[in-house]
Structure 1
Amino acid sequence: MIPNNLPAPTALNGLVLAGGKSSRMGIPKDTMNWHGKEQRYRVADLLAALCHDVYISCRPDQKEDIDPAYGALPDIFPDMGPLGGILSAFNVQKDVAWLVVACDMPLLDEKALDFLVRSRNPASIATTFESPVDGLPEPLVTIWEPGSYPLLLNFVHSGPASPRKFLMQHRISILKPEHPDTLVNVNTPEEADQIREMLKRNRNPE
């Protein structure tokens, strides 16, 4: 819960990062089907329960492939990876916070996202999870507050940058995930096979 002495939070929008080229996977990660629908739409549906507006961040050439029932938000900051998607979202709406989620975390669920939203600290520039892999901030399941936008612009103008490096350099709120497996991302066919086996066991316990 947010302490009473903190500023009132701004509206919260959702952003699904689906513009990656999936070079290691070999097929688009955003269209992989783990739970009955393409992952980009599943994540968007999860965010819709928690956010005011939800958009799918994509490359301009992907826009026509996205179901018109979902809002597509093409990158206007090319060749910046996830940061380009985040900056493009703020360019559309600067006065809201953005709950940004990558499309390559098939175990991420509504409980984890609800925990993040309930733990949101609007006095920080971001509220995020601690990665179970290395203990560093997980930038691709993060609430980015409006105050992060000008800082992000300065950050990218200073040279090659990553959202994780940005978070490590600024005042943020970082949470330990209740279930670390929910933050596992999938980048290769081998990792995908492991997740399929895990999901199969969970659905058909002995």
Structure 2
Amino acid sequence: MISDNKQARLKGLILCGGKSTRMQQDKSQLAYHGQPHWQYLLQLLQEFVPEVYLSCRQEQAAQFREYPHIITDSVDGAGPSAGLLSAHAAQPDVAWLVLACDLPLISRQSLAALLQARNPLKAATSFNSHFNNSPEPLIAIWEPAALAVLQQNFATGKNCPRKTLLGCDVLVLENVNVMEQFNANTPAEMQEALQQLTDAPPPIPPHPQNTPSSR
């Protein structure tokens, strides 16, 4: 819990450091919305938080060189915990609004709901995952308290952000737009997401003044 009721500064974090083994191509570069998906997520987050960082492995950094705010993994380990903990190590007093790069259907509606409900006295604010009825760790606001617990768990070989949230005092929300939490990790799931986007009304594009070139 954050001491003295002080609300931590909130920044955005896009997790791009996965190896995309099942997708067979870098998920952050897929163009669901006519541009690399990391750029689409960046524009979404820039509407809500003043600073957004990309989390990636060291060998990926060159492909994001057009964007200045990058946190490369400083923690050994696979999976999203490495990105979360590297961000926490770089800026330990910051709360992070986290998005994974494999969320093709996410829109500003879910982010607005998450931010409106944020309780900084909780360890995190998250949506319930209807896929496994537990907190969704990769569309969530991680307060420093939750990241400190993840750090402790990671040191003992417990490498699962979801299990960390299950052991914390988390505000869990029901998302009325549940399909926005759909993860596309395989070519078949990518095609399913593209079909969903084809069948749905086009999303309102992010504000043009928040494009990467203007930062």
CA distance in 2 between partners of 1:97 and 1:86 (Å): 11
Letter of the structure 2 residue corresponding to residue 63 of structure 1: A
CA distance in 2 between partners of 1:148 and 1:199 (Å): 33
Deviations 1:139-161 (A, max 9, x none): 00110111223222211111132
CA distance in 2 between partners of 1:203 and 1:118 (Å): 25
User: Counterpart of 1:137 in 2: which secondary structure?
Assistant: strand
- Gaps (5+ residues) in structure 2? 203-215
Hey, what does 2:123 align to over in structure 1?
A: 125
1:20-169 equivalences in 2 (<5 Å): 20-169=18-167
Q: Provide runs of 4+ in structure 1 moved above 6 Å.
A: none
Distance 1:36 1:70, change over 3 A: farther
Q: Quote the offset at 1:69 in angstroms.
A: 2.8
Q: Quote the offset at 1:194 in angstroms.
A: 1.2
Q: Could you tell me whether the CA contact under 8 Å between 1:56 and 1:70 is conserved in 2? A: no
CA distance in 1 between partners of 2:156 and 2:174 (Å): 30
TM-score (structure 2 length as normaliser): 0.88
Deviations 1:35-88 (A, max 9, x none): 121111111111111112111100000111104234221011122310110111
Deviations 1:86-136 (A, max 9, x none): 111111111110011101011000110011011001011100000021211
Identical counterparts, % of pairs: 35
TM-score (structure 1 length as normaliser): 0.92
Q: Quote the offset at 1:171 in angstroms.
A: 0.8
CA distance in 2 between partners of 1:83 and 1:52 (Å): 23
Q: Quote the offset at 1:8 in angstroms.
A: 4.5
CA distance in 2 between partners of 1:162 and 1:117 (Å): 24
CA distance in 2 between partners of 1:181 and 1:149 (Å): 26
Hey, what does 1:185 align to over in structure 2?
A: 183
- Gaps (5+ residues) in structure 1? 1-5
* RMSD of aligned residue pairs (Cα, Å): 1.5
User: Counterpart of 1:147 in 2: which secondary structure?
Assistant: helix
CA distance in 1 between partners of 2:67 and 2:192 (Å): 32
CA distance in 2 between partners of 1:203 and 1:177 (Å): 19
Q: Could you tell me whether the CA contact under 8 Å between 1:11 and 1:52 is conserved in 2? A: no
CA distance in 2 between partners of 1:150 and 1:201 (Å): 42
Letter of the structure 2 residue corresponding to residue 51 of structure 1: V
